[in-house]
Amino acid sequence: MSTTAIILAAGLGTRMRSSRPKALHLLGGRPMLCELLDSAASVFDRVVVVIGPEMAEVAALVAPHPVVVQQERLGTAHAALTAASQFGDGEVVVLYADTPLIRPTTLSRLLTRKKETNAALTLLAFRAPETGRSDHYGRLIMADGFVQSIVEWADASPEQRAEPLCNAGGFVASSADLRRWLEQVPRNTAKGEYYLTDVVGLAAAEGARIAALEAPFAELRGINSQAELAEAEATLQGWLRAAAMEAGANLVAPETVFLCSDTVLAADVRIGPYVVFGPGVVLETGAEILPFCHLEGCRIGPDARIGPYARIRKGTTIGASARVGNFVELKAAVLGVGAKANHLAYLGDAEIGHSANIGAGTITCNYDGAAKHRTVIGADAFIGSNAALVAPVEIGAGAIVGAGSVIVRDVPPDALAIARGQQVHKPGRAKLLRSERKRGATKAATELPTKVLEGQKENG
């Protein structure tokens, strides 16, 4: 029997005080919808996403999964019914894009729970969180281990509010049952919308068996505000750090390291405090990231060492045993095996050969105001401090560039390039300058009181 997940992602960011669709707010370095998409795609045969009108960015994000557009935002039941043509003939799971942390194991258990209990409808549920955090969650009213009804918090009596299980929103039902219930959902007279929770009442009215699957609040929490987004981020970071350490990564101060959902850390990498990983980072075995570094879209080779205070940007590859030191930035660069850039350098759109040495203050001048250009530095080349390499330019293998040089033409292999103004000596001039400065300072000191007195007389 086929399984289909319907993800409702038409919501706007109104309660988050944002013009960005809620599903696009970042979690683990990428839109929160991606987290749920990955989990659902790993469990169900098919995933369909319901979006609102003018949400092309969301549609592009979920591709190649099919998209259904809810032209009018008339509530969650209406959104699910909009996707009825995509239900198929098997089990249908309805999920919310703003509940993105549900783990694949929980989704699998949801299907298993429905089958084991022979239920027509199985709901996701969690234990009420601490006092003050549960006053907007509907309660599941249970009897003999099954759900009798859902009571919204605002409508619940004190006894009902004391019920421990809260409705998480997601559920599974057969396509035929769900389609029938959705078509019967009444329109709420106050807001003019159709609510998905009414499906439970319709199922109960038919005498259908309704089961619940309890899962951790950390997984089933909804995100409706910037504060809740930050709390979800903290939860996800905890999971990512734990998984990284379980796989053999050494995080010296894990609570200070921020990972992305796609960060790949091999065994025996070492991460110092206050390191931030953007999307698309891979660290190979033995790599070390020292404190206060930021990395994104890069690959760090085995036994390479980065930092402290380094920034590695998109499109960069650091070779094995290479060294990138403090206040060095690389962008779209390849740093060869054993190459070094230990201090205060910017290497953008550059290819640096193995064992090359980049001196402090070196920059590749890669942008001419209209286009980017590439710098190629050969193996074993030595670039002196404060050199400016004006791209496009090539420094041959084994070449040396003198400190302070501005290189605008290619340097042949094994050549010494010096491109700076000629040094001129003026004998005795330093002594004369010091005398003049001293005389000037003495004159200013004696003239100042006179000027002040004259100014007082004028003002008086």
pLDDT tens digit string along 327-343?
999 999 999 999 999 99
For residues 424 and 156, the model is more confident at 424
242-417 matches 3-220 in CATH topology: no
Q: Provide CB contacts within 8 A for 248, sequence distance 6+.
A: 266, 267, 268
pLDDT tens track for 307-319: 999 999 999 999 9
Bridge partner residues of 326 (DSSP): 343
Q: Does residue 308 have a cis bond before it (omega within 30 degrees)?
A: yes
Give pLDDT, residue 453. Answer: 47
Give pLDDT, residue 454. Answer: 57
Separation of alpha carbons 230 and 221, rounded Å: 12
Separation of alpha carbons 332 and 177, rounded Å: 54
Closest by CA position to 53, among listed 36, 39, 41, 70: 70
What is the residue extent of each domain of the chain? 3-220, 242-417
pLDDT tier at 448, thresholds 50, 70, 90: low
Active site residues: 343
pLDDT tens track for 226-248: 999 999 999 999 999 999 999 99
Q: Which CATH number fits domain 3-220: 1.10.2020.10, 1.10.3720.10, 3.30.450.40, 3.90.550.10?
A: 3.90.550.10
Question: What separation in angstroms does the CA of 267 have from each of 167, 274, 305, 442?
Answer: 40, 20, 15, 68
Separation of alpha carbons 5 and 33, rounded Å: 13
In the predicted model, is pLDDT for residue 459 greater than 60? no
pTM assigned to the model: 0.88
What average pLDDT does the segment 197-221 reach?
Answer: 96
121-127 and 165-174: which strand pairing?
antiparallel
Average pLDDT of the chain to the nearest whole number: 93
Give pLDDT, residue 155. Answer: 82
Measure the N-to-C terminal CA separation of the chain; round to a whole number of Å.
102
Query: What is the architecture, at CATH level 2, of domain 242-417?
Result: 3 Solenoid (2.160)
CA atoms within 13 A on the CB side of 85: 7
Closest by CA position to 137, among listed 109, 106, 162: 162
Question: What separation in angstroms does the CA of 201 have from each of 2, 96, 130, 141, 149?
Answer: 26, 20, 28, 12, 6
**Cα–chain center distance at 49:** 21
Highest mean pLDDT among 140-144, 309-313, 445-449 belongs to: 309-313
Give pLDDT, residue 451. Answer: 54
- Residue 83 in contact with residue 59, Cβ under 8 Å? no
Give pLDDT, residue 452. Answer: 47
Separation of alpha carbons 418 and 111, rounded Å: 72
- Residue 50 in contact with residue 9, Cβ under 8 Å? yes
In the predicted model, is pLDDT for residue 137 greater than 90? no
Structure tokens at 256: 């200070």
Q: Which value, to the nearest 10 degrees, does the dihedral of the CA atoms of residues 293, 298, 303, 305 take? A: -30
Q: Which of 186-190, 313-317, 451-455 has the lowest mean pLDDT?
A: 451-455
Q: What is the largest CA-CA distance in the chain?
A: 107
